[in-house]
Amino acid sequence: MTLEGFGANVCNCSFESFAMSPFSCSLVDHGTLAVPKFFPFDPTMLSKPLPTSISLSVCLGLSAAAAVLALHASSCKKNNNKTGGKKKPSRWQLCWAQTLGRNSYQLANVRVPVAVFRAEVSACMNVDQEGLVECNITIQDGTIAAIEERTDGGTASSSFWTTVDCHGCVVIPRFADAHTHLVKSQTVPRNRNSTGTMTEAFAADGSDEPRWAYQEDVFRRMDFAAKCAVHHGTRTIRTHLDGCSSPDPSVQQAVYGAFDNIREKYSAVLTVQGVANLYLPLWMTLEATQHADQAAAHPNVVLGAYVGNTADIPPAETLQAMDALLTHAARLQLDVDLHIDESNDPRCCAMKVWCESLKKSRAAGYQGRVVLGHCCTLSLQDAATQAFVCTQLAALGAYVVSNPLTNLGLQDRQGSKPPLSLMIPNDQSRTPQWRGLTLLQELRAAGVTVACASDNVRDQW
Ligand SMILES: [Zn+2]
> What is the count of structural domains for the chain?
2
Q: Rounded to an integer, what distance in angstroms lies between the CA atom of residue 105 and that of residue 276?
A: 43
Contacts for 234 with CB less than 8 Å, ≥ 6 apart: 1, 2, 174, 175, 176, 177, 270
Domain presence at residue 9: no
Statement to judge: residues 180 and 166 lie in one domain: no
Note whether 452 and 180 are within 8 A (CB): no
pLDDT confidence of residue 407: 84
Domain presence at residue 460: no
Ligand 1 midpoint to CA 85 (Å): 37
Statement to judge: residues 272 and 162 lie in one domain: no
Q: Rounded to an integer, what distance in angstroms lies between the CA atom of residue 318 and that of residue 353?
A: 7
Which of 157, 172, 187 is where one domain is finished? 172
Statement to judge: residues 135 and 225 lie in one domain: no
Ligand 1 midpoint to CA 333 (Å): 23
pLDDT confidence of residue 182: 97
Ligand 1 midpoint to CA 456 (Å): 7
Statement to judge: residues 268 and 376 lie in one domain: yes
Ligand 1 midpoint to CA 179 (Å): 6
Ligand 1 midpoint to CA 75 (Å): 31
Rg (CA), the chain: 23
Ligand 1 midpoint to CA 406 (Å): 9
Domain presence at residue 127: yes
Statement to judge: residues 219 and 330 lie in one domain: yes
Indicate which CATH number applies to the domain containing 182. 3.20.20.140
Which of 149, 172, 195 is where one domain is finished? 172
Give residue 146's domain range. Answer: 28-172
Report how far Cα 433 is from the mean position of its chain's Cα atoms: 25
pLDDT confidence of residue 38: 32
Ligand 1 midpoint to CA 391 (Å): 24
pLDDT confidence of residue 13: 32
Q: Rounded to an integer, what distance in angstroms lies between the CA atom of residue 217 and that of residue 349?
A: 37
Statement to judge: residues 166 and 184 lie in one domain: no
Domain presence at residue 84: yes
Domain presence at residue 411: yes
Statement to judge: residues 181 and 163 lie in one domain: no
Statement to judge: residues 293 and 398 lie in one domain: yes
Domain presence at residue 457: no
- The overall pTM is greater than 0.75: yes
Statement to judge: residues 60 and 195 lie in one domain: no
Ligand 1 midpoint to CA 455 (Å): 5
Ligand 1 midpoint to CA 382 (Å): 25
Ligand 1 midpoint to CA 401 (Å): 10
- Identify residue 352 by its one-letter amino acid code: K
Cα torsion 80, 84, 85, 87: sign: negative
pLDDT confidence of residue 12: 30
Domain presence at residue 5: no
Ligand 1 midpoint to CA 181 (Å): 6
Closest CA to 457 of 243, 229, 261, 236: 229
Asked if the bond preceding 89 is cis, omega within 30° of 0, the reply is no
> What beta strand segments (E) does 226-309 contain?
234-240, 271-279, 301-306
Ligand 1 midpoint to CA 448 (Å): 20
Question: Tell me: the pLDDT tens digits for 223-239?
Answer: 999 999 999 999 999 99
Q: Which residues of the chain have pLDDT under 50?
A: 1-77, 79
